[in-house]
Structures are given as C-alpha cells and as structure tokens.
Structure 1
Amino acid sequence: MSAPQYKQLTQSVSTQLAQLRKTQPGVMKGFADMGKAAMAGGALDPKTKELIALAIGVASRCDGCIGFHTQALARLGASTEEVHEALGVAIYMGGGPVAMYAANAVAAFNEASLPAQA
C-alpha cells in the first residue's frame, strides 16, 4: 500500500472546500468555529489535542485528516516519538486496518516535517 502525497492531498482538499465555503458559508463557518474551539488550549494543550485528532483520523481511515493533523503537529513541534505513541494507541483501538493507516500517518508526518523547498 502506497501512502498518498499528503501536502498535495491537503492542497487539493482545501481547494475543494473553498467551493463549499462559497456555497455553504454558514455550515463551513460553523465547522471552522467548532474546530477552533475544540483545538484551543485548555486543560489539554493544542499539541495533545492534535495528537488525539490524528489518532481519530487514523482510526477513521481519513487521509485528509491524516494530512492536516500531521502538518499541524509538525508546526507545533511534535516529536516523532509523540506521533508514534499516539499512533500506537490508534492501532490498539482499531487493530490491523488502523495499523495500515498508521503507516500512512508516519509517511505524512515525515513529509510534513521536511523543510519547505523553494
């Protein structure tokens, strides 16, 4: 199984979502507001919340989720060990199929952690 190119995938998803922001502004604004509220710091810091979101995205087998949350984790300075530990919990909860998506998440985090090329 080959992992998608996650930067390209998330750019494509963002382009498609832009259309929905035009045609469904209330729904998309509501979703964005919910995301901001859910990911804001509180008892759990934003990095921990992104690790949870990644694990859920992997368990849900959502490539877009994997792409967006690994990029956020790279920006937040997550370590490979933190990401892999969260993926271990996802594998425990979801079994073999989740292990295959965890491998994709490793590839996505590695891709997101590479320095940007000009």
Structure 2
Amino acid sequence: MKNFPAHYEELNAWMGKLGVAIPDVMEGFGALHKASIATGALDSKTKELISLGIAITVRCDGCISFHVHDALAAGATKEEIAETVAVAILMGGGPSMVYGIEAMQATEQFMEQSAQGGS
C-alpha cells in the first residue's frame, strides 16, 4: 500500500523545486488551481470531489494524493469520497475501481494523520 501522506509531502517538495526551475509555469499553474477551486456556483469541496473523480478515472496517483488531502481539508467526509469513487468507477470501469481503492486508502491515511495532529 502506498503511503499517501508521504507521497503528498514528496510531491509538494518537488513542486517547490519545479517552481525554482520553471517559475512562470508554476506560478501560472498555481493561479489556475486557485481560481478553479475557489467557491463560485460550486463550493470548493464539490470542486475537490470532482477533481478526485477525474484523478481516479485518469489514474493519477499524485492527483489522488492531492485531491483526497484537499477534499478532506475542504470538509469532505469519507462517505462523500466513497460516493465520488462510485461515480469514477461508473465512468472508468475496472481500472477506476483499483484507483478508487487507492483513494479510499489515501482517505484513511490522511484522516489517521489528522487525528494524530499532523497536517
């Protein structure tokens, strides 16, 4: 089983390194992310759950780490994440089921980390 909180931290560190190597691109991506997730007609939690469903369907481990983390931070529950996994399975079949399992593993790991006082 992957350690999703550690994966999240590693990706954050590497994104920082990318920010040094390609600052304009990373600033642009950061601005796009901030604008896309901001509350509008949909709240940030819903947008993170949509992002998670897409991450599962396109089979992106790093995206699963980030969007589970951020969905929980935006107030998503384990049940909401499970329903997001269900929709991703509908749209992506068996491979989405496998990555949906990873999303549920990530959810449990981040929730355990949070309960222990981590970020």
TM-score, shorter chain, exceeding 0.5: yes
Deviation at 1:76, TM superposition (A): 1.9
- Corresponding position of 2:101: 103
| TM-score normalised per structure 1 | 0.93
- Corresponding position of 1:93: 91
- The CA distance in 2 between the partners of 1:69 and 1:38, in whole Å, is 13
Letter in 1 for 2:85: L
- Corresponding position of 2:51: 53
Point out 4+ residue stretches in structure 1 off by more than 4 angstroms: none
Name which structure has the greater RCO, CA cutoff 8 Å, separation 6+: 1
Question: What do residues 20-69 of structure 1 show as CA deviations (whole Å, max 9, x unaligned)?
Answer: 10010000000000000000000000000000000001111111111111
- The CA distance in 2 between the partners of 1:46 and 1:79, in whole Å, is 14
| TM-score normalised per structure 2 | 0.93
Q: Percent identity?
A: 39
Deviation at 1:116, TM superposition (A): 3.0
Provide structure 2 residue ranges, at least 5 long, that are not aligned to the other structure: none
Letter in 1 for 2:97: A
Q: Does 1:22 align with 2:20?
A: yes
Provide structure 1 residue ranges, at least 5 long, that are not aligned to the other structure: none
- The CA distance in 2 between the partners of 1:87 and 1:95, in whole Å, is 11
